[in-house]
Structure 1
Amino acid sequence: MRIIVHKARCQGHARCSARAPAVFKLDEAGYILPGDIDVANGEQLLAPDGVRSCPELALEIEDPPAARIVPDAILKPRTGVPEHLTTMEFATDPMEQAKITELLDREAIRDCLYRYCRGIDRADEAALRSAYWPDAHDNHGAYCGSAEGFIRFALGVFKTGPRNIHQITNILIEFINPAEAAVESYFTALQRGPDKDGEMRQMLLSGRYCDLFQRREGEWRIAERTVVYDWLEEQIPAAVLESERFGPRQPIGAPHPDDPVYALGKRRIASRGDAFSASERERRISGDDGL
């Protein structure tokens, strides 16, 4: 297996290395090293997952293997072969291959849904775009149209400095064929921001994302989305500033690229010993945090 590296596209998310660190080597800043990658046999199970995880499409499999490599432990038992063996070999049973492929596809779909949440909550345009195919359609409450139009709409909302928190649960994936899947995901969303008149509004929403996912060139993304609303509750926003409400509970979530998660991706988060003063560490250890 050979992986083509499009170095110029890399934004330092480091997701590929998190999935297959032996395959995807990063520089000190967390960016992929230049040069295409020849994947060793022992790493061919995880490498495709690392390729699919890149939201910037900076990685591409040149020659997908005819068969995936899997541990003996997940193959069907074979006469005379101890079950504790950990050597790697090609899985030749078509049924086993189908099961492995389906598991990888399911994980790729879930990862896409999570990228959407990061994109919409962290005002991360790249992550948001990575969840949709360019020709996708989105029926999203007040908005109905192309996914590109929804992204432009979201970018306008991001400029108002809203507070968004999206959580996804109950992900049900039903494959229509090898390249399409019907996916229902329950969501809970807390949204706070100014309305068109500048008045601060806060809403608690619950519902479902009903998505048609399509697999193109080995990658799963949303092709069609309909947002179904099952609960809506308008809340009274807090009158005080966030810095007052959160108090010592720091850091507070922030938009891209200032949120701590992006420093984590680039290996830049300071140790806890560096992040807090001695008095702050003592207070936290004593439990005076009002959790």
Structure 2
Amino acid sequence: MSSPDMFPEQFADRLAIRELVDAYAHLADRRDAQGQAALFTDDARVAVYDGEPGTTGPAQTLNGRDELAAAFGSLRTYDKTTHFIGQSTVTVDGDRATGETYCLAHHLWTEEGQRTLMVMSIRYHDAFVRQDSRWHFAERRLIVDWVDRRPSTV
């Protein structure tokens, strides 16, 4: 939440972090796995959860840009994807920040002649770090809240 006494640098940091989050979704939908991976630190960690962290362990954990790029490349198996980024909260503390972002991720593909749409309600819990004057993801926890899969008529 913004307050009137927030310094202009904090607004700039929050905007830069939001642009980072948006770039991740944009690059995902453009199938630019290397570009997505470049948004992360060299030693970044991504953990995927089917439910709230702490109540379940990660279903998948990826470490470093090479593993991330390989995993991001799997989006090429879909005909189309669209990631809608929703509300987000960010707390900046110097060159580090944390945040939570909501996303509706749409995946469309054809299987045995039937077009299928899968919509995932996702929350990202992120740790960010500023390196070389740019913000990067240092850690990302992808939490799948629900999934809806159905035939698509479009």
TM-score tier, shorter chain, comes to 0.7 to 0.9
The TM-score, its normalising length taken from structure 1, stands at 0.44
Contact 1:115 1:130 in 2 (8 A): no
Q: Compared with structure 1, are the counterparts of its residues 179 and 152 closer, same or farther at alpha carbon in structure 2 (3 Å cutoff)?
A: same
SS across alignment from 1:113: helix
Per the TM alignment, residue 127 of structure 1 is displaced from its structure 2 partner at its CA by 3.2
Per the TM alignment, residue 201 of structure 1 is displaced from its structure 2 partner at its CA by 4.2
| Aligned residue in 2 for 1:174 | 91
Question: 5+ unaligned residues in a row in structure 2: which ranges?
Answer: 50-58
Percent sequence identity is 24
SS across alignment from 2:7: helix
Per the TM alignment, residue 130 of structure 1 is displaced from its structure 2 partner at its CA by 3.2
When you count helix as a share of all residues, which structure comes out higher?
A: 1
Contact 2:48 2:141 in 1 (8 A): yes
Find runs of 4+ consecutive structure 1 residues off by over 4 angstroms. Answer: 197-201
Map 1:133-148 onto structure 2 (within 5 A): 133-141=41-49, 142-148=59-65
The TM-score, its normalising length taken from structure 2, stands at 0.78
Residue type matched to 1:164 in 2?
T
Contact 1:135 1:147 in 2 (8 A): yes
Q: Compared with structure 1, are the counterparts of its residues 219 and 234 closer, same or farther at alpha carbon in structure 2 (3 Å cutoff)?
A: same
Residue type matched to 1:186 in 2?
Y
Question: 5+ unaligned residues in a row in structure 1: which ranges?
Answer: 1-95, 239-244, 246-291
| Aligned residue in 2 for 1:151 | 69
1:42-90: CA deviations, max 9, x gaps? xxxxxxxxxxxxxxxxxxxxxxxxxxxxxxxxxxxxxxxxxxxxxxxxx
Map 1:29-108 onto structure 2 (within 5 A): 99-108=7-16
Per the TM alignment, residue 190 of structure 1 is displaced from its structure 2 partner at its CA by 0.7
| Aligned residue in 1 for 2:152 | 237
Q: Compared with structure 1, are the counterparts of its residues 118 and 230 closer, same or farther at alpha carbon in structure 2 (3 Å cutoff)?
A: same
| Aligned residue in 2 for 1:203 | 118
Residue type matched to 1:145 in 2?
L
Per the TM alignment, residue 179 of structure 1 is displaced from its structure 2 partner at its CA by 1.0
Matched, 1:212 2:127: yes
Aligned residues: 140
| Aligned residue in 2 for 1:116 | 24
Contact 1:115 1:127 in 2 (8 A): no
RMSD: 2.5
Bigger relative CO (Cα 8 Å, ≥ 6 apart): 2
